[in-house]
A = this chain, B = another copy of it.
Amino acid sequence: MSATQVPPKLLRVSVIQTCSAAYSLEETLEKLKHLTHIAKERDGSQFAVFPEAFIGGYPKYSTFGAVIGDRSLPGRDEFLRYHSSAIEVPSSPVITYIERVSAETNVYIVVGVIERDSGTLYCTVVFIDPERGYVAKHRKLVPTATERVIWGQGDGSTLPVLEKVFQVSESAHSGGPVTAKLSAAVCWENYMPLLRQYYYSLGTQLYCAPTVDARPAWQNSMAHIAIEGRCFVLSACQYAEEKDFPPDHSVVDPTNREPSKVMIGGGSVIISPLGQVLAGPLLKGEDVLTAQLDLNDCVRGKFDLDVAGHYSRPDVFNFGLKA
């Protein structure tokens, strides 16, 4: 017990609402660079989360020519194109590029990529540290519905909860370095109670949720998770219009293509461990959302709810990562 106040542990974090650039990895990387600089220079941010599948793209409305019991040759070619626009992790020049952006801005970057591992693709999130470069990746555990036709399943080896010491941020006027634990769950992984429990059990504080789910109901789940896990939830969703996809890409109504018609509607948001919405949700357009956090709020929240601690029942439920 101390008579003095605990000094705040301030951190400025951002979620980036954007989409992959149609046609071009190069332009997508340009966007990543540009938006990271905005996070840094305009908002004084130290941490940025980009959406799911930002590198490699999210082929919404495609079927890849697959139906029950059959695949078409054009579908295979579409897969080949998608495969060829994916990246190996970490041995790809794209990773090197992001490392450079991270280093030059001093912004820690969490970004969704399509990862190529031999013949199988994964919906992956990579973690890029401004000082150490690439540090880890997380592969989405369960693709949703038709995604299963194009993505494989991650396994228990890529579920990192990382510790990062953030140096003093000028804009934050923080008194010293701040240590945070961070992890990522992609899109509907956020509905997996066991994955979340696992992350909570490792003490995640910056719970990153890159997604392409733009339904309003997503907001409920983000708020729930923040409270359930007593963590900051940083959800970055893509915002994309038809013009952001190749001209021959599937759309809802192919007979009436409209360049400005929304394909993925955004909804990026930052929420505190007690359920307070700190930024967003941003329901339209591309932008950077930034909030200043006090990491002490995680502890404040766990006073009465720690589902991996005093509020757990290890005597009732077996739980753990499979050996």
Chain A interface residues (CB < 8 Å from chain B): 1-6, 20, 22-23, 25, 56-64, 66-71, 73, 75-77, 79-85, 117-120, 141-142, 144-153, 155-156, 159, 188, 191-198, 200, 203, 212, 217, 219-221, 223-225, 227-228, 230, 245-250, 264, 275, 296, 298-322
Contact = CB atoms under 8 A, between A and B. Distances in A.
Given A67-B61, A299-B119, A322 B311 contact: no
B69 A118 contact: no
B149 A145 contact: yes
Contact of A63 (B58, B67, B306): B67
Contacts of A153: 310, 313
Contacts of A120: 302, 306, 309-310
Nearest to A69: B60
Nearest to A203: B118
Looking at A76, A192, A299, the one whose CB has the most chain B CB atoms below 10 A away is A299
A79 B146 CA distance: 14
27 contacts: A2-B23, A6-B83, A63-B67, A66-B145, A67-B146, A69-B146, A69-B147, A71-B303, A79-B299, A79-B303, A80-B299, A80-B303, A119-B308, A142-B312, A148-B149, A191-B311, A193-B228, A194-B194, A195-B313, A197-B197, A217-B223, A217-B227, A217-B275, A220-B221, A220-B227, A315-B315, A315-B316
Q: Give the top 10 A-B pairs by smallest Cβ distance, nearest first.
A: A315-B315, A119-B302, A120-B309, A152-B310, A148-B148, A193-B193, A3-B246, A1-B57, A224-B224, A220-B223
Contacts of A318: 318-322
A75 B192 CA distance: 23
Contacts of A4: 23, 81
